[in-house]
Amino acid sequence: MLKKVTHLLRCKISRSSPLVAGAIVMLSGVMSCAAANQQQTSTAPSSPIRQLDRVKQRGQLICGTSGKVPGFSFVDPQGQYSGLDVDICRAVAVAVLNDSNKVEFRQLGATQRFTSIQTGSIDVISQMVTVTISRQAAVGVAFGPIVLYDGQGIMVKQRSGITDLASLSGKSICVQTGSTTELNLADQFRKRNIPYQPVVFESRDATFTAYEQGRCDAVTTDRSGLVAQRSKLANPTEHVIFADVLSKEPLAPGVKGGDHQWHSILTWTVNALIQAEEYGITSQNVDQIAASSQDPDVRRFLGVEGNIGDGLGLSHDFARRVIKQVGNYAEIYDRNLGADSPLQIERGPNQLWTKGGLLYSPPFR
Amino acid sequence: MSLDPPPLCRSPRWTQKLFDTPLNSLLSVVFLMAIVPGITAVLIWATTQAQWSVLAANVKLFLVGRYPVEWLWRLRIAVALLALVGGMAWGSVQRPQQPWQPLRNRSFLIGVAVAVGIAVMPMVLVAKLSLMLPILLVLLGDGLGRNLPLLRWLPLLGVVSGASLLWLIRGGLGLQQVATANWGGLLLTLFTAAVSLVLSFPLGVLLAFGRQSSLPVLRLTSTIYIEVLRGLPLIGVLFMALVMLPLLLPPDWTRPDPLIAATLGLAMTAAAYLAEVVRGGLQAIPRGQLEAARALGLHPVLTIALVLLPQALRLVLPALAGEAITLFKTTTLLSVFGFMELLGISSSVLANPDFIGRHAEVYLFIGAIYWAFCYLISRVSQSLENRLLDSR
């Protein structure tokens, strides 16, 4: 039987040229591609399943995160994800599923993070993404509120005598390749017409090791990263970080564009963290305040009266549950980046607007 | 006239080798002067400056990643099974010894020495036991393999134990499932390397025969496959499988599990390389072998299975081991795509604010792990070679 078929095949094919066979293979490939595309266009509008329902049905939030940035996202010795980016995901999980552990974290490489959100294989991306116009417009990420205002900074050794950007003229600067960091550095120095010598490395570790060993006069990355790495140098006090900021790096979580309700859930969950700090509500005192407060704003915010969560498809006390389980913004910041962490990064612009910072939550009403 | 056997030459002592002529002495001194400071610097660093606590604190992450603690016992059983079956396989391909003399057996003695070494090391009892048990099981399996006629049952044993390993690690069928996103560390490295090797092998052999086939379609397809996949950089193949494929599939299709996509990508690329290695072996077989098989009226499939393939594989065994080692180390590329295999989990550990700057210790450690497994592959292949040379 088999012999017959192969014989038949041989006869058929040997008469036509191998080129024809190749063409058939390619043609069928193209056709199946076209069919797939057609399917894509025809099914896209007719899928009104909301992301919220999908997450509730799954019983788990899938959150994309880097897993490789100190203070923002890493794996602790117990195997738990930890960091500021991670806590944002946990807050969303509490708002939707009422359990900060119902999150599956997916580590994403820089190339995958946007395609993962486009294809819907993750629900939320919380991965130190800088908000930019092209990411919002072309990639189609709908960003939530900014959770950290960072900026690119420069660190030098104190005894080098370098005090500002101008005195870096002709000096060498260690920088990580392939990042916006490298581009910002070039832009800023070109703008100021300062000549410099970039020394480029593949990883953050290599960049800072080279700086420590004196291969370059200065090192540049986001200020939060500079502070974190400085705390691990042999003598942290011997290094100074310039007040000059080379770029704006507003970091925000995001969701796939097009699902208004899901974007609102992310937005108002993050806003609730900031608003809670403004009200002075923490994970410790949230129950007590809910029971005793007479302030109508606070009572509405905590869901004691009114129905603020209903419009989002959440319960009216979602803010209270989030604060109870994850804490307010100050608690999250302090344990991951600030006073209670090994990094000891000042709040800087990440203070409430009432204290001269940039954090400002629209009203909950 | 009788021929005298050549005089047995004793290999000279190492001092004689290094310092036998003035030039050699000079070279030895120069190289020693270059090597010794390097080694002492590393030793001084390792004993005074390095902070090895990063390894002790994260040892579970390095071994199994975020695998749930409550299911670790499944992995312990899996390791024990692997050790026993591995020992049996090793033992049954060794030269049969009559009678079995464990005390004359070098690998047995090394195993016992390592087990004793672990027993006296200052460690938690559980850690000691979980390290010693697999070694003892390897030795037990080795003994069984040498004394029982297991060789012909090895394929069946391999399939059964492979399936049970997968079941223990992944769950299902009565066990709680563990999502592949939680697999990590050495577990994930070994899993992807082993599975892609097992998948790529039959595909590679088929492609090798396909490329030599007299059927033009088969030959053309095999050639195109091999040349395309060998020509693409592996990171490009992985990029297609992990980033582009989810974009191109129709939106209502379920996306393949990233681990499956990545393993298939690795296997498909490895198959293209294996195919060329196997083809080299096939072409080295004298044409008379094939003609003799035909003359005897042996069925073509049996000709391949009994005459061509065994000889071809025996010829290219060292190259196959090389491919296996390459594949094992290539799995580090997965860390670029967010997999937490050994290299990926290392960067997650290094991002812990408590362990920033400990990269030298961590990378040295995982480097040692990679070396140990590659050396194991190389030893196994050498032992197989010896055995196959004997049986010829």
- Identify whether residues A124 and A88 lie together within a single domain: yes
- B144: closest CA among B103, B105, B86? B86
Same domain, A300 and A231: no
- The region of weakest confidence among A23-27, A106-110, A145-149, B153-157 is A23-27
Provide the pLDDT confidence category of residue A19 given band limits of 50, 70 and 90. Answer: very low
Question: Quick check: is A15 in a domain?
Answer: no
By Cβ distance, the residue of B60, B216, B251 closest to A44 is B251
Distance between CA atoms of residues B340 and B185, nearest Å: 6
pLDDT tens, position by position, A335-345: 999 899 988 88
- Lowest-pLDDT choice from A230-239, A352-361, B375-384: A230-239
Of A249, A266, A296, which one is at a domain's C-terminal end?
A: A249
The CA distances from residue B217 to A12, A19, A33, B214, B316, in Å, are: 10, 10, 22, 9, 27
Domain assignment present for residue A244? The answer is yes
Which of B348, B355, B364 is the best substitution to test chain A (most A C-beta atoms within 10 A)?
B348
**Tell me, what's the ipTM?**
0.78
Contact between A343 and B353 using a beta-carbon 8 Å cutoff: yes
A61, A107, A116, A209: which to substitute to probe chain B, counting the most B Cβ within 10 Å? A107
How would you label A323-337 residue by residue, b for 16+ Cβ within 10 Å and e otherwise? bbbbbbbbbbbebbb
Q: Which residues contact A350 (CB under 8 A, 6 or more apart)?
A: A148, A149, A333, A357, A358, A359
Contacts of A233 in chain B (CB under 8 A): 357
Verify that A231 and A275 share a domain, yes or no: no
Interhelix angle B342-350/B359-391, nearest 10 degrees: 170
**CA–CA dist A343, B359 (Å, integer):** 18
Domain coordinates in residue numbering, chain B: 69-178, 184-356
Determine, for residues B215 and A44 on separate chains, whether the beta-carbon distance falls below 8 Å. Answer: no
Q: What is the pLDDT of residues B283-311, one digit of tens each?
A: 999 989 989 999 999 998 898 888 898 89
Distance CA A337, CA A72 (A): 8
Place domain B184-356 in its CATH homologous superfamily: MetI-like (1.10.3720.10)
Cα Rg of chain B, angstroms: 25
Q: Which residues of B touch A43 (CB under 8 A)?
A: 250-252
Residues A220 and A263 in one domain: no
**Domain for residue A7, yes or no?**
no
Last residue of a domain, one of A249, A272, A297: A249
Domain boundaries, position A99:
51-147+252-355
Within this chain, do residues A121 and A261 fall inside the same structural domain, yes or no? yes
Residues A135 and A268 in one domain: yes
A232 and A154 fall within a common domain: yes
* Measured CA angle at B379 (ends B375, B385), to 5 deg: 145
pLDDT at B356 over 70: yes
Q: Do A198 and A143 fall into the same domain? A: no
Give me the number of domains chain A comprises: 2
How far apart CA A150 and CA A176 sit, in angstroms, is 17
**Where does the pLDDT of residue B392 fall: very low under 50, low under 70, confident under 90, or very high at 90 and above?**
low
b (16+ CB within 10 A) / e for B263-272: bbbbbbbbbb
Considering the domain architecture, whether residues A67 and A200 belong to the same structural domain is answered as no
Does residue A8 register a pLDDT over 70?
no
What's the alpha-carbon Rg for chain A, to the nearest Å?
26
Q: How close is the nearest chain A Cα to the Cα of B351, in Å?
A: 4
In a domain? residue A136: yes
Residue A34: pLDDT band with limits 50, 70, 90 = very low
Asked if A78 and A134 sit in the same domain, the reply is yes
Of B20, B54, B9, the C-alpha closest to B352 is B54
Q: What are A201-227's pLDDT values in tens digits?
A: 877 778 888 998 889 999 998 888 888
Q: Is A17 within a domain?
A: no
In a domain, A85, yes or no: yes
Domain shared by A88 and A164, yes or no: no
Read off the DSSP letter of residue B122. Answer: S
Q: Tell me the C-alpha distance between A162 and A167, whole Å.
A: 6
**Which of A1-10, A32-41, A260-269, B15-24 has the highest average model confidence (pLDDT)?**
A260-269
State residue B154's pLDDT score: 85
Residue contact A341–B353, C-beta within 8 A: yes
The most confident of A88-102, A303-317, B39-53, by mean pLDDT: A88-102
* Domain at A303, CATH number: 3.40.190.10
On whether residue A23 sits in a domain, the answer given is no
Output the pLDDT for position A147: 95
A266 and A238 in a single domain? The answer is no
Residue B248 CA, distance from chain mean position: 34
pLDDT digits (tens, 9 = 90+) for A222-233: 888 888 888 777
